[in-house]
Structure 1
Amino acid sequence: MASTCHSLLSFPPLSKPPSLLTPKFFTQHSFPRSISTDRPSKTRSNSSPSSSTAAGVEDDPKKNSLPMSIDNLRRFFDLNVGKWHGSFHQFDANGKLMQKVSTRLSASSYGEDELISLIQTLYIKQPPTSTSISGYDEEPEWAEYKIKETNMFTVDSYQQLGFFPNERAFALRYQTAGMLETVLRQGVLGEDDTGEESPRNLKLPSRLPSIVCENCLYSREKDRRARAFHIMDPKGILEMLLIFLEDRGDGILSRPTLDSNTDGTNRIIPFLGWWKGHSVTKRSGVYGSTLAEADTIALLEMDDKGQLIQDITSTSDRLGVTTNVHWTGNTADNLVTFDGGYQITLLPGGMYMGCPSDIAKSVAESKSFHLEFCWLESPGKRQRLVRTYDVEGLAVSSTYFSEIKL
């Protein structure tokens, strides 16, 4: 088995950098710095054609032209604009639902060309007041919060967009620490956590998380999307998982939500079997040039001892090279732990989220790492989005998978 961390597809480690970061990186910086669009490429082996890293791929100047970047940004805004109704879910690292809150999100764009911007406002349904009159239906109160504006500068500077316009998916790292303050400390608690009692089962995130990554997948069956957030604590350990499940449109009566009444054994059953699909890997940044494409075949099965067995075969479209990876894992409730230090948390609604068990260890050992979100919206069809970070903790690329069950 390869030495690097694994999700449901194996990626090789990057070349060793001139200087290595220690685990202190995760305690001294709330977020890694962004990758520059003109950062020198590194040479690496092509042993795995389906790698989602940006190393070893020369930038195409034609793909980095400004008109294309503006077009990509406009398409990204078009994908997000509108009124979204849904629910926010907070899970612990073991997939236990701790909190659910009704939400609304209003997004619109303004400006032209390089000045085009996206503005978003989040509305969080507030709990009933303790002074409500018996027998009187109190009108629900919605608290309003502004989300940091997205524009040409922010999306390519520190938001690090990985965008798939045709596949309708994106990975984004904006100032999501502020989102945590808005949703959890203000929206759910009603005020900052200054010793006041919080709602039962609510867990507050660290004020300086090492990584906050958003992976968003859009439904193929309706105007719905799932936005999944990995929250890593200052030491690089998974702290919590957040999911917004939202429908777009006016006059929506029912809000989409996740059913949490399925135990861990049943949650993994829909993912077992043979899966055939295709992957597209793009570099980080608003230019979004394609790095690699590959056809994939995956087998996930449980042996008679209850051990999880996985085989992945990937064939590069460009090089025609086939790579096979085999590894094993163990399940405990909603948590799957693979050999090599990668874990997957099984969630309700046909979803799972994967990450290294210890990101700081990966960085200290000069290993790349990956954050994954999978959504099996209907039986036999799933989408996956993998966000890849290099050995320095920089988000360098994203890979989108579309797969069907054989």
Structure 2
Amino acid sequence: MEINWGNFLKNLGEWEGSFTQVAIDGELLSSTASILTLEGLEDNQLVQLRLRRFANNITEQPTADFTQEYRSLGRQLVFFDTGAFSKGSLQVAPFAEFGAEYGFVAGNRRARLVQLFDLQGSFSSLTLIQEIRSGTDAIMRPALTVEQLLGKWEGTAFTVYSDWKPSETNVVSLEINQVNGSLHQQLSFGSHRISSTARIEGNQLHFEEGVTPRRVLLLPDGVSSNIPLQISHRQPFFVEAGWLLSDNERQRLIRSYNDKGEWISSTHAIEHRVG
């Protein structure tokens, strides 16, 4: 728990950004400006969060002003060494909304993503949050493209388990190729080897093989969303967000659920282009 709190503190500061609503087909909808402040108090034993949102820009009066204090973190909220985090529903239940939130941090930049599913378990909405540390000249990256993902990526994946069993670090290798209108990828993760093919349609990747179709959306600021179109408490699944920090470094956050709909693990992968 102390490690989790220490990693949380890597997000302290004032962050200016925006909340952008994204349709399930990847179309960008409405956007609002924001200022998020995470302030450490009482020798960083207390963190005070303040989120202000604005109709047009941050020079106006906020349309919403929310505050919250943290002295501890819930079990469903996992922070990793870089300050990246993953949180979400502990259990998939019939006729209950399901959601997952991810956050990446690197220097003076943060990127966050919220995925929501409706009462029937269908993918319903997406929110992209792009943030820059106030007073810095950090810039946001352009929208992610298929071409930026092509090649071979290698790195490590650190997994935290919900039942408190020891965390694991695995070598991960991902090779992505494009053939005509399709994307082919081969993933090696520990002892697992997975091959998959997607149909490319604009900023959408449609993985239509297998029991549950999946959709990857390529979004502004190098962010990607990877979700099944339908979830169930009777079938295992995972949800994922990615962030291309630079041309040659990408991070991914994955939340995994078992065939009882229970959250079982969170993984943070850091990958570098090697070919």
TM-score range, shorter chain: 0.7 to 0.9
Do the aligned residues in 2 keep the contact of 1:231 with 1:239 (CA within 8 Å)?
Answer: yes
Measured at CA, do residues 394 and 238 of structure 1 come closer, stay the same or move farther in structure 2, by a change above 3 Å? same
State the match for 2:92 in structure 1.
none
Alpha-carbon offset, residue 347 of structure 1: 0.9
Tell me the distance in 2 between the aligned counterparts of 1:355 and 1:294. 22
Are positions 1:394 and 2:269 aligned together?
no
Q: Which runs of 5+ in 2 are unaligned?
A: 90-94
Aligned mate of 2:117, from 218, 228, 232? 232
> Does the alignment pair 1:163 with 2:79?
yes
Q: Does the 8 A contact of 2:7 with 2:82 survive in 1?
A: no
Matches within 5 A, 1:221-370: 222-249=107-134, 251=135, 259=142, 267-284=145-162, 290-304=166-180, 306-315=181-190, 322-338=191-207, 339-340=209-210, 341-360=213-232, 363=233, 366-370=234-238
**Greater fraction of residues in helix:** 1
Separation of aligned partners in 1, 2:86 and 2:242: 13
Q: Is the 8 A contact 2:113 2:126 kept in 1?
A: yes
Q: Percent identity?
A: 25
RCO comparison, higher one (Cα < 8 Å, 6+): 1
How far off its partner does 1:73 sit?
4.6
- When the two structures are aligned, how many residues end up with a matched partner? 266
Contact preservation (8 Å) 1:281, 1:290: no
Counting only pairs closer than 5 Å after superposition, residues 70-89 of structure 1 correspond to structure 2 as 71-89=2-20
> Per-residue displacement from partner, 1:3-29 (whole Å, max 9, x unpaired)?
xxxxxxxxxxxxxxxxxxxxxxxxxxx
Give the SS at the match of 1:391.
coil
Q: How far does residue 210 in structure 1 lie from its aligned partner after superposition?
A: 1.4
- Per-residue CA deviation, residues 248-268 of structure 1 (Å, 9 max, x unaligned), is 24x45x7855656xxxxx711
Query: 1:83-121 deviations in whole A, cap 9, x for unaligned?
Result: 1111222111121110222110112244589xx443211
1:95-151 per-position Cα deviation (integer Å, ceiling 9, x unaligned)? 1110222110112244589xx4432111112249xxxxxxxxxx5222342244333
- 8 Å contact kept, 1:297–1:312: yes
Say if 2:40 is the partner of 1:124: no
2:102 paired residue among 215, 219, 235:
215
The CA distance in 1 between the partners of 2:141 and 2:231, in whole Å, is 28
1:217 positional shift: 1.0
Flag the 1:278–1:255 CA change in 2: closer, same or farther, 3 A: closer
* Change in CA separation of 1:367 and 1:294 when aligned onto 2, cut-off 3 Å: same
- Relative to structure 1, the CA distance from residue 328 to residue 350 in structure 2 (aligned partners, 3 Å threshold; closer, same or farther) is same
User: Aligned in 2, Cα 1:147/1:392: closer, same or farther, shift over 3 Å?
Assistant: farther
Shift of the 209–98 alpha-carbon distance from structure 1 to 2, 3 Å rule, reads farther
SS where residue 15 of structure 2 aligns? strand
Partner of 1:202: none
5+ residue gaps in structure 1? Answer: 1-68, 129-138, 175-207, 261-265, 316-321
Kindly provide the amino acid, as one letter, of the partner of residue 232 in structure 1. F
Normalized against structure 1, the TM-score is what? 0.59
Aligned CA distance change for structure 1 residues 209 and 345 (closer, same or farther; 3 Å): farther
**Contact 2:8–2:83 (CA under 8 A) maintained in structure 1:** no
Q: Could you tell me how far 1:375 is from its partner in structure 2?
A: 0.6
CA contact (8 A) 1:311 1:326 kept: yes
Equivalent position of 1:146 in the other structure: 66
Structure with the larger strand share: 2
The aligned residue for residue 52 of structure 1 is: none
Query: Residue 78 of structure 1: SS of its match in structure 2?
Result: helix
Residues of 2 paired with 1:171 and 1:405: CA distance? 24
Question: Contact 1:336–1:344 (CA<8 Å) still a contact in 2?
Answer: yes
2:38 and 2:63 map into 1 onto residues whose CA distance is 16
Distance 1:342 1:210, change over 3 A: same
1:376-395 aligned within 5 A: 376-395=244-263
Secondary structure at the residue paired with 1:349? helix
**Within 1, Cα distance between the matches of 2:8 and 2:114?**
20
Q: Quick check: which has more Rg, 1 or 2?
A: 1
State the alpha-carbon separation in 1 of the partners of residues 247 and 142 from structure 2.
Answer: 16
Q: What is the distance in 2 between the residues matched to 1:233 and 1:77? A: 29
Distance across 2 between alignment mates of 1:118 and 1:396: 27
Query: How far is the alpha carbon of 1:352 from its aligned partner?
Result: 0.8
